[in-house]
């Protein structure tokens, strides 16, 4: 009987409006791509009922399988999109479907991403009631001018209100998302965001450096020369500042862009970097199960109409051979500040890490991009800045 | 088929590039039913993919067509397609020698262009009767009457009854065919005389071996004839003779005076059967060869290296095969510190170079690094020796050099009067010597310049086109060598000299070229973990410098469950990108950086 731990990811691909930098699979309320589907978000019910129903059916389908039935689910993550657009009743339905069909562990970490402007005290109470115990708030910046540039729907004031309501509802584990290298951002304005956020004392902070993604409004603006972005040097200074400032406030960096009070590292995300199995449900969601990586269709019409797991249900599916698994173990594991364990590598693959990667490790040690300490291989400070260069060398 | 000479016409079509030569050939073939329309693919005669894509003819081709004329007789037309580009001038000249007449295609809108003139003069030099045809009359901008006058005034041939056609839309093609019968003379020659046949092309076929294309001037060639190549002296047994169907070879018993066809024999090496040579019967030889044979020599050289060093033998095989097909291609092994093992290859011109490069990449699947092209410099040493320098790296120490000479071409540039200023400025920048200007008509002029060949092998064509908005056309021929103040410009990357980037330049433009070269390389070389100086130097003197700053950041901010496949692809791409780099010291240089020197004109 399969008893290995499992993580669940639930995708809610709806937003009030897409942000200017976002390339995630998500639809704004008035997205034309939904016109051909029976899925029509409304102001009153931003997440269409048909979607939630389909999602619950998918959860049921997997839960009925022998393969998943007995696996303890140690974390659930509602990502998006904007999962906090779910109505109180919808939150209840999805959580009930998970509990009924999976073995949800006592003490599992259950996170919901939420955006200011979509939360009410009532909804937050409902989340708590349903067992959601971690909230990830998308703030991005404490300056209204920067929020506007990013195309966010909320003000800093709205965030403060949401944060307070969340604490009042009893959330004791809150993450706040920030973005660095925002157009027109300066060191001073960024420091101000850090100061204001830390003053609220969330348990966890994610600080992402802005990436101009293809197909986003930012890409178009950049091509037209209309985005004034901080240069590489400034961006790295912001990165340094994040680390120093947050360290001083009691937040330790545990991954390239993630900082937490001791004991509050996100368990769900840590699972991704450690190669744990995760099952993604919802439109376009990805999974890693028993060395097989697959993704659901990203086509809404197909998602609603096809049988779960039938012909075109999966948009991609790939079996990872041992070589690919070793590569992932390295390039994902190195994102963690503590790096990867040589013992763990041996336990997983039956080969010594240094026997497989000795050359790459030594070369990068010599370049001072990698360090080898206490049976672990980890990126140095410079190595973290240049992680792609090091990681690409671990491809066999 | 024993044919009556009076019912044979051997002709070619000449035109400026893009005036519709190959399209007219297609229509003629289609009209005469040589190919059914199902077999018909646009531009039948250009049968290399590359030719069809670029819309140019690289190798000569021939086709035999049977045409039933209005007078009730059947005529045999041998249509010989000629390469249109100046690089292949010699091949054009040999193809022309195989014909008795030429159809001159002139674009009804553009009128006479530089290559129109060059090709017509070439045809007249070979005593061909030139019959003008005005093409593209369906264009809104067509001015057939003006073009007719231009042909009469500028070239001095009768154009009053020139057919007005649209090859593209098949308008008036029959008129062309009828005029061919009337205006192009039938071949002459005695079938009983000793054999004399002119080779105008040869190709290599993996089944039949070398196939030689020729025109019989005198006598008759049959299967079994012991043939002698008069210039190379090679003697071979004729295995098969035949003529050209469209896209296929049709064997026959014999080919006699006036006919065009092919022969196969046990020939392994294309060098034995050079274009321009005369075939005779070894058992009954003629007194003297047909005139005009010359060995063609490369004018432009460059280094070609496999991107993957392990592919060196593959590159050698590929070059050998191409050489079978193209006797003007030359190559010899060389080694570069930066690029490893490769070949120094000689070409007729820059287009020839590009074509060979593309064929190697496409037909032989090779990934190449090509160094900047160089002309042949004559280096006169103090000890009296003269060396032909094809690779800048081999330039002797300046103390051993008495003086140097560089090749000069005489160029003719046809341009609309609006752009004369810009084009003269361009020629000036390229060290051109102004010889004169002739007005063709009110709006167009022919500029004559002497230009150093090394100034036109890089980006002269591009510069010419961009500065005249595409309206200038250009033709040149070798003139000779002149003494010149030249020096070798070296490029240092991270303080290491990169031999493959060195080039010879005139002293006056050295500083400018060096500066631009550094700027270009700065754009091409990616940031490394350390700072990289890029310097240009003459001898030990640094004349320009740029710096590629050290990389500070290359990291993906987010990587969660849904990002992992994408992350893997990104890392794979990064790794793949590295393979396309050349290691120079501890710097990785992208392959295309070695071609940077080709694109220094920034106007």
Chain B residues in contact with A318 by the CB 8 A cut-off are 565
Residue B340 and residue B399 in one domain: no
Query: Which of A21, A134, A250, A220 minimizes the C-alpha distance to B558?
Result: A21
CA distance A373 to A375: 6
Question: For the segment A231-240, what is each residue's pLDDT rounded down to a tens digit?
Answer: 888 999 999 9
Confirm if B109 and B143 have CB atoms less than 8 A apart.
yes
* Domain end marker among B457, B484, B511: B484
CA distance B212 to chain A (A): 52
Residue B471 has pLDDT above 80, yes or no: no
**What is the per-residue burial (b if ≥16 Cβ within 10 Å, else e) of B50-71?**
ebbebebbbbbbbbbbebeeee
Average pLDDT of chain B is 85
Sign of CA pseudo-dihedral A188, A191, A192, A193: positive
pLDDT in the model for residue B250 = 85
CA distance A59 to chain B (A): 18
Chain B residues in contact with A332 by the CB 8 A cut-off are 559, 564
- Whether B575 has its CB under 8 Å from any CB of chain A: the answer is yes
Is B22 annotated to bind a ligand? Reply is yes
Residue B491 has pLDDT above 80, yes or no: yes
Confirm if B186 and B213 have CB atoms less than 8 A apart.
no
Chain A residues in contact with B567 by the CB 8 A cut-off are 331
Residue B198 has pLDDT above 70, yes or no: yes
Residue B165 and residue B38 in one domain: yes
pLDDT in the model for residue A40 = 86
* Domain end marker among B157, B183, B209: B183
CB atoms within 10 A of CB B33: 12
Residue B582 and residue B523 in one domain: yes
Q: In a 3-state reduction of DSSP, which class is residue B435?
A: strand
**Average pLDDT of B266-284?**
82
Q: Strands B340-347 and B300-306, how do they pair?
A: antiparallel
Does B289 map to a domain?
A: no
User: What CATH number is attached to the domain comprising B218?
Assistant: 2.40.30.10
C-alpha distance across the termini of chain A, in Å: 33
A209, A235, A395: residue with CB nearest B572 = A395
* Domain end marker among B252, B281, B310: B281
Given an 8 Å threshold on Cβ–Cβ distance, is A392 in contact with B556?
no
Question: For the segment B497-514, what is each residue's pLDDT rounded down to a tens digit?
Answer: 998 899 899 998 899 889
Does B191 map to a domain?
A: no
pLDDT in the model for residue B598 = 67
Q: Cα B21 vs. chain centroid, distance in angstroms?
A: 16
Residue B177 and residue B222 in one domain: no
CA distance B526 to B519: 13
Does B287 map to a domain?
A: no
Does B471 map to a domain?
A: yes
Residue A78 CB partners (closer than 8 Å, separation 6+): A10, A12, A86, A94, A111, A112, A113, A132
Does B442 map to a domain?
A: yes
Question: For the segment B386-404, what is each residue's pLDDT rounded down to a tens digit?
Answer: 999 988 989 999 899 999 9
More confidently predicted of A95 and B582: A95
User: What CATH number is attached to the domain comprising B337?
Assistant: 3.30.70.870
- What phi and psi, each to the nearest 5 degrees, are found at residue A21? -105, -5
- Best to test chain B binding among A319, A332, A334, A391 (most B CBs inside 10 Å): A391
Residue B466 and residue B418 in one domain: yes
Question: For the segment A84-95, what is each residue's pLDDT rounded down to a tens digit?
Answer: 999 999 999 999
Q: Which two tokens mark B15?
A: 């035109």
Q: Strands B300-306 and B254-256, how do they pair?
A: unpaired
Q: Which long-range contacts (CB under 8 A, 24 or more apart) does A40-49 make?
A: A41/A14, A45/A87, A46/A14, A46/A16, A46/A82, A46/A85, A46/A118, A47/A12, A47/A14, A47/A85, A47/A86, A47/A87, A47/A90, A48/A14, A49/A90
* Domains of chain A, CATH where assigned: 6-273 (3.20.20.70), 322-392 (1.10.10.10)
More confidently predicted of A366 and B154: A366
pLDDT in the model for residue B266 = 76
More confidently predicted of A29 and A375: A375
- Whether B70 has its CB under 8 Å from any CB of chain A: the answer is no
Confirm if B43 and B37 have CB atoms less than 8 A apart.
no
Question: For the segment B449-460, what is each residue's pLDDT rounded down to a tens digit?
Answer: 999 998 888 778
Chain A residues in contact with B551 by the CB 8 A cut-off are 386, 389
CA distance A265 to chain B (A): 14
Is B479 annotated to bind a ligand? Reply is no
Which of A352-361, B80-89, B288-297 shows the lowest per-residue confidence on average (mean pLDDT)?
Answer: B80-89
Is B417 annotated to bind a ligand? Reply is no
pLDDT in the model for residue B579 = 73
Residue B27 and residue B153 in one domain: yes
Residue B166 and residue B220 in one domain: no
CA distance B347 to B375: 10
Residue A56 has pLDDT above 90, yes or no: yes
Residue A15 CB partners (closer than 8 Å, separation 6+): A26, A27, A28, A29, A80, A81, A82, A85, A115
Give, in degrees to the nearest 5, the angle at Cα B409 between B404 and B412.
155
DSSP letter for each residue of A81-110? S-GGGS-HHHHHHHHHHHHHHSEEEEEEEE
Residue A374 has pLDDT above 70, yes or no: yes
Residue A343 has pLDDT above 60, yes or no: yes
Confirm if B550 and B531 have CB atoms less than 8 A apart.
yes
pLDDT in the model for residue A39 = 87
Residue B580 has pLDDT above 80, yes or no: no
pLDDT in the model for residue B55 = 45
A79, A316, A389: residue with CB nearest B554 = A389
Residue B44 has pLDDT above 70, yes or no: no
Residue B87 and residue B156 in one domain: yes
Q: Strands B254-256 and B248-252, how do they pair?
A: unpaired
Confirm if B252 and B258 have CB atoms less than 8 A apart.
no
Residue B37 has pLDDT above 60, yes or no: no
pLDDT in the model for residue B246 = 61
Chain B residues in contact with A232 by the CB 8 A cut-off are 552-553
Q: How confident is the model at residue B444 (pLDDT cuts 50, 70, 90)?
A: confident
User: What CATH number is attached to the domain comprising B502?
Assistant: 3.30.70.2570
Does B130 map to a domain?
A: yes
CA distance B579 to chain A (A): 12
CA distance B315 to A382: 41
Does B188 map to a domain?
A: no
Max mean pLDDT range (A370-374, B122-126, B503-507, B557-561): A370-374
- Whether B553 has its CB under 8 Å from any CB of chain A: the answer is yes
B529, B551, B575: residue with CB nearest A395 = B575
Does B548 map to a domain?
A: yes
- Whether A389 has its CB under 8 Å from any CB of chain B: the answer is yes
Residue B295 has pLDDT above 80, yes or no: no
Residue B602 has pLDDT above 90, yes or no: no
Which contiguous run of DSSP H or E holds residue B146? helix B144-150
A210, A272, A388: residue with CB nearest B561 = A272
**Minimum Cα–Cα distance from B575: chain A residue:** A392
Given an 8 Å threshold on Cβ–Cβ distance, is A386 in contact with B529?
yes
Give how many domains chain B has, as a whole number.
5
DSSP code at position B186? P
Question: For the segment B89-148, what is each residue's pLDDT rounded down to a tens digit?
Answer: 677 777 888 899 999 999 999 888 877 887 888 888 888 999 999 999 999 999 999 999
A269, A331, A384: residue with CB nearest B560 = A269
Residue B13 and residue B160 in one domain: yes
- Best to test chain B binding among A330, A334, A392 (most B CBs inside 10 Å): A392
- What phi and psi, each to the nearest 5 degrees, are found at residue B244? -100, 115
Confirm if A333 and A371 have CB atoms less than 8 A apart.
no
Which of A308-312, B2-6, B296-300, B535-539 shows the lowest per-residue confidence on average (mean pLDDT)?
Answer: B2-6
Q: Which two tokens mark B277?
A: 């040579």
A211, A280, A388: residue with CB nearest B574 = A388
**Average pLDDT of B239-250?**
81
CA distance A279 to A287: 5
Residue B1 has pLDDT above 70, yes or no: no
Is B562 annotated to bind a ligand? Reply is no
Residue B24 and residue B126 in one domain: yes
- Whether B540 has its CB under 8 Å from any CB of chain A: the answer is no
CA distance A154 to chain B (A): 23
pLDDT in the model for residue B57 = 46
Q: Report percent pLDDT > 90 for chain A.
A: 89
Q: Which two tokens mark B378?
A: 């004559």
Q: How confident is the model at residue A135 (pLDDT cuts 50, 70, 90)?
A: very high
Residue with tokens 């070894």: B282
Domain that residue B460 falls in: 378-484
Residue B23 and residue B157 in one domain: yes
Is B135 annotated to bind a ligand? Reply is yes
Residue B464 and residue B390 in one domain: yes
Is B148 annotated to bind a ligand? Reply is no
pLDDT in the model for residue B60 = 46
Q: How confident is the model at residue A41 (pLDDT cuts 50, 70, 90)?
A: confident
User: What CATH number is attached to the domain comprising B457?
Assistant: 3.30.70.240
A272, A328, A385: residue with CB nearest B553 = A385
CA distance B285 to A196: 102
Q: Which two tokens mark A366?
A: 């010599």
pLDDT in the model for residue B338 = 83
């Amino acid at each position: 009987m399969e008893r290995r731990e499992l993580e669940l990811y639930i995708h809610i691909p709806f937003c009030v409006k897409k942000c200017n930098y976002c390339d995630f699979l998500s639809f704004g309320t008035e997205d034309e791509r939904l016109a051909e589907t029976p899925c029509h978000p409304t102001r009153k019910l931003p997440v269409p009922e048909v979607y939630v129903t389909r999602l619950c059916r998918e959860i049921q389908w997997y839960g009925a399988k022998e393969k998943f039935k007995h696996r303890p689910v140690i974390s659930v993550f509602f990502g998006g999109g904007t999962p906090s657009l779910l109505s109180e009743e919808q939150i209840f339905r999805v959580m009930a479907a998970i509990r009924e069909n999976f073995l949800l562990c006592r003490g599992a970490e259950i996170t919901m991403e939420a955006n200011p402007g979509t939360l009410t005290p009532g909804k937050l109470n409902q989340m708590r009631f349903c067992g959601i115990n971690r909230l990830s708030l998308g703030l991005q910046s404490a300056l209204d001018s920067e929020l506007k540039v990013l195309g966010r729907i909320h003000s800093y004031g709205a965030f403060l209100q949401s944060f307070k309501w969340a604490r009042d509802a009893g959330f004791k584990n809150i993450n706040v998302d920030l973005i660095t290298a925002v157009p027109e951002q300066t060191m001073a304005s960024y420091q101000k965001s850090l100061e204001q956020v830390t003053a609220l004392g969330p348990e966890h902070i994610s600080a992402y450096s802005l990436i101009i993604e293809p197909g986003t409004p930012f890409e178009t603006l950049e091509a037209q020369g209309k985005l004034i972005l901080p240069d590489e040097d400034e961006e790295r200074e912001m990165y340094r500042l994040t680390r120093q400032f947050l360290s001083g406030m009691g937040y330790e960096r545990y991954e390239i862009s993630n900082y937490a009070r001791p004991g509050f590292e996100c368990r769900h995300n840590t699972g991704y970097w450690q190669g744990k199995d995760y099952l993604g449900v919802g439109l376009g969601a990805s999974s890693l199960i028993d060395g097989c990586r697959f993704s659901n269709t990203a086509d809404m019409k197909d998602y609603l109409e096809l049988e779960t797991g039938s012909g075109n249900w999966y948009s991609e599916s790939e079996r990872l051979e041992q070589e690919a698994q070793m590569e992932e173990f390295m390039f994902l594991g190195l994102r963690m500040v503590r790096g990867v364990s040589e013992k763990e590598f041996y336990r997983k693959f039956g080969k010594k890490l240094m026997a497989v990667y000795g050359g790459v490790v030594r070369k990068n040690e010599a370049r001072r991009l990698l360090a080898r300490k206490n049976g672990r291989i980890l990126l140095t400070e410079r190595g973290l800045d240049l992680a792609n260069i090091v990681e690409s060398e671990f491809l066999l | 088929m024993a044919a009556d000479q009076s019912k044979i016409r051997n002709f070619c079509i000449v035109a400026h590039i893009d005036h519709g030569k190959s399209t007219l050939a297609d229509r003629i073939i289609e009209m005469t039913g040589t190919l059914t329309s199902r077999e018909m693919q646009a531009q039948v005669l250009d049968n290399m993919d590359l030719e069809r894509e670029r819309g140019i003819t690289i190798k000569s081709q021939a086709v035999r067509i049977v045409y039933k004329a209005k007078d009730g007789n059947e005529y045999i037309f041998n249509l010989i397609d000629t390469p249109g580009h100046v690089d292949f001038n010699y091949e054009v000249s040999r193809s022309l020698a195989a014909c008795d007449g030429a159809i001159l295609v002139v674009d009804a809108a553009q009128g006479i262009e530089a290559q129109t003139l060059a090709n017509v003069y070439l045809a007249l030099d070979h005593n061909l009767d030139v019959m003008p045809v005005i093409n593209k009359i369906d264009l809104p901008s067509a001015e057939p009457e003006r073009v007719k006058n231009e042909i009469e005034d500028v070239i001095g041939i009768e154009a009053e009854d020139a057919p007005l056609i649209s090859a593209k839309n098949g308008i008036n093609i029959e008129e062309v065919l009828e005029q061919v019968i009337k205006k192009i003379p039938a071949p002459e020659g005695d079938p009983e005389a000793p054999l004399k046949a002119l080779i105008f092309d040869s190709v290599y076929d993996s089944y039949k071996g070398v196939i030689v294309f020729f025109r019989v001037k005198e006598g008759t060639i049959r299967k079994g004839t012991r043939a002698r190549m008069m210039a190379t002296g090679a003697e071979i047994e004729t295995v098969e003779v035949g003529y050209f169907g469209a896209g296929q070879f049709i064997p026959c018993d014999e080919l006699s005076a006036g006919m065009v066809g092919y022969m196969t024999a046990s020939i392994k090496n294309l060098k034995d059967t050079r274009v321009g040579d005369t075939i005779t019967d070894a058992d009954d030889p003629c007194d003297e060869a047909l005139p005009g044979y010359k060995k063609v020599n490369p004018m432009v050289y460059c280094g070609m290296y496999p991107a993957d060093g392990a592919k060196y033998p593959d590159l050698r095989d590929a070059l050998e095969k191409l050489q079978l097909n193209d006797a003007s291609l030359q190559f010899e092994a060389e080694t570069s510190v930066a690029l490893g093992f490769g070949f120094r290859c000689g070409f007729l011109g820059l287009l020839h170079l590009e074509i060979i490069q593309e064929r190697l990449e496409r037909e032989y699947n090779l990934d190449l690094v090509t160094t900047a092209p160089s002309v042949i410099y004559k280096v006169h040493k103090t000890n009296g020796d003269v060396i032909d320098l094809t690779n800048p790296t081999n330039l002797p120490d300046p103390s051993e050099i008495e003086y140097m000479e560089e090749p000069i071409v005489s160029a003719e540039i046809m341009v609309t009067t609006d752009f004369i200023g810009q084009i003269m400025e361009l020629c000036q920048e390229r060290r051109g010597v102004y010889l004169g200007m002739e007005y063709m008509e009110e709006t167009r002029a022919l500029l004559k310049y002497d230009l150093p060949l090394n100034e036109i092998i890089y980006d002269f064509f591009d510069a010419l086109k961009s500065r005249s908005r595409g309206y200038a056309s250009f033709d040149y021929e070798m003139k000779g060598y002149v003494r010149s103040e030249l020096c070798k410009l070296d490029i240092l990357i991270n303080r290491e000299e990169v031999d493959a980037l060195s080039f010879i330049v005139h002293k006056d433009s050295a500083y400018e070229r060096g500066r631009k070269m550094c700027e270009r390389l700065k754009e091409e070389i990616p940031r490394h973990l350390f700072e990289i100086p890029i310097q240009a130097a003459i001898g030990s003197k640094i004349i320009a410098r740029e710096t590629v700053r050290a990389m500070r950041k290359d990291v993906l901010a987010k990587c969660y469950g849904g990002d992992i496949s994408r992350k893997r692809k990104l890392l794979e791409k990064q790794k793949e990108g590295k393979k396309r780099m050349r290691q120079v010291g501890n710097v990785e240089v992208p392959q295309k950086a070695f071609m940077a020197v080709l694109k220094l004109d920034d106007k």
